[in-house]
Structure 1
Amino acid sequence: MLVFFKERLAFLSVPKTGTTAYETALAPRADMVISEPPMLKHAPVYRYNRFIRPMFLKVCDTELELMAVMREPISWLGSWYRYRQRPFMQGKPNATFDVSFDEFILAYMKGKKPGFADVGSQLNFMAAQPNGTGITHYFRYENQDRLKDFLEQRLDVTLDLKQENVSPQMDLHLSPEIEQRFKRKFADEFALYDSIE
């Protein structure tokens, strides 16, 4: 998570959406950088609302706008699947070496997900809170130009981004039947994604 106080902006770090590259590029410019532990680096809206927002509201009498990046839902899960096939994951319970992508998606669709498929939800991460706290600025992972332009203009910076924390490259195939089931079950996730420029 990055906070830019003067600009009244907090950049929430949705996992597997390329935010580490922005964190590295913008850390020197940010007023607050939360890069560890992961549960704070990747604090969703509800955690921001409970812990970070009150600090700025009570101490500085300031509300921040929130921004977040969303990845196409199947691509997002594909990134998690590939990420859990990095070499050091060999022998770990959350590894996906012995699981097909179809099996991974089916496991993700279960109510009680096995550990390897328990990766959260972008929709839940960005869910608005009862007090109105929510994402002000949404960006698609697949539209990096819009994201970069917004940050460069809002923060008056020129960004030189490098790839970081990248999942291993591999071709993933999801059977059409499972893809349709997934899209039906997570229609709200796709509706949010489709609403973003």
Structure 2
Amino acid sequence: MLVFSKAKLVILSIPKTGTTAIETALGPSAAIWVQDPPDLKHAPIYRYNRFFRPALEKFVSPDIQTMAVVREPISWLGSWWRYRQRPFMEGKANATHGISFDDFVEAYCQGKPPAFANVGSQANFLKPQPNGTSIDLLFRYEDQPKLLAFLEERLERPITLARENVSPEIPVALSPAVEAKYRRKCAAEFELYEGIA
């Protein structure tokens, strides 16, 4: 998570949406750069609302805005599946070695997914809170020019992003039946992404 007090902007970091590259490029110039522990680095809207929002609205601005990057849901799961196939993960409970992408998505769709498919939810990460706190600005991971144009204008500086925290290059293919199940069981993921203007 990054906080820019002058720009009145908070960037929330959904895992596997390119936010590590954004943090690497912009972190040194941020007023606050939350790097660790992961539960705070990747604070979802409910955690932001509870622990960060009150202080930021008081000490930075009551008009501070939040933004996040959302990835197309199949691509997002594909990135997780590939990421958990890095060599050093072999033998760990959350590794995906020997697990097809179909099986990974099937497991993700379960009510309580096994460790290897327990990767959270972009929709839950951004779920609006009862007090009205919600994400202000959403950008598609796949539309980097729009994201960068916004950040450059808001932060008043040129920005170059490097590739960071990259998943292994492995082909991702999802069968039509499993894709249909994913779209049905996790409709909120697709509604969130498709609702971004």
Q: TM-score, normalised by structure 1?
A: 0.97
- Does the 8 Å CA contact 1:56/1:63 hold for their aligned counterparts? no
Bigger shift: 184-193 or 12-21? Answer: 184-193
Deviation at 1:98, TM superposition (A): 1.6
Separation in 2, partners of 1:5, 1:62 = 11
Separation in 1, partners of 2:5, 2:137 = 16
Bigger shift: 62-71 or 73-82? Answer: 62-71
Matched, 1:189 2:189: yes
Q: What residue is the counterpart of 1:6 in the other structure?
A: 6
**Percent of aligned positions that are identical:** 58
Separation in 2, partners of 1:169, 1:97 = 14
Q: TM-score, normalised by structure 2?
A: 0.97
Separation in 2, partners of 1:150, 1:177 = 38
Matched, 1:163 2:163: yes
The 3-state SS of whatever aligns with 2:29 is coil
The runs of 5 or more residues in structure 1 that have no matched partner are none
Bigger shift: 26-35 or 55-64? Answer: 55-64
Q: What residue is the counterpart of 1:153 in the other structure?
A: 153
From the superposition, tell whether residues 59 and 160 of structure 1 become closer, same or farther in structure 2 (CA, over 3 Å): closer
Tell me which stretches of 4 or more aligned residues in structure 1 moved more than 2 Å.
Answer: 57-63
Deviation at 1:61, TM superposition (A): 5.6
- Does the 8 Å CA contact 2:13/2:43 hold for their aligned counterparts? yes
Aligned residue identity for 1:79? S
The 3-state SS of whatever aligns with 1:92 is coil
Deviation at 1:63, TM superposition (A): 4.1
Separation in 1, partners of 2:105, 2:63 = 38
Deviations, residues 48-84 of structure 1 (Å, cap 9, x unaligned): 0000011123445634210000000011000000000
Aligned residue identity for 1:128? P
Deviation at 1:95, TM superposition (A): 0.4
From the superposition, tell whether residues 9 and 76 of structure 1 become closer, same or farther in structure 2 (CA, over 3 Å): same
Alignment of 1:37-56 (within 5 A): 37-56=37-56
Separation in 2, partners of 1:39, 1:96 = 22
- Does the 8 Å CA contact 2:10/2:65 hold for their aligned counterparts? yes
Q: What residue is the counterpart of 2:131 in the other structure?
A: 131
Q: What residue is the counterpart of 1:28 in the other structure?
A: 28
The runs of 5 or more residues in structure 2 that have no matched partner are none
Q: What residue is the counterpart of 2:69 in the other structure?
A: 69
Aligned positions, number:
197
Aligned residue identity for 1:142? E
Aligned residue identity for 1:149? A
Q: Could you say what the CA RMSD is over the residues aligned between the two structures, in angstroms?
A: 1.1
- Does the 8 Å CA contact 2:3/2:10 hold for their aligned counterparts? yes
From the superposition, tell whether residues 38 and 11 of structure 1 become closer, same or farther in structure 2 (CA, over 3 Å): same
The 3-state SS of whatever aligns with 2:28 is coil
Separation in 1, partners of 2:84, 2:28 = 30
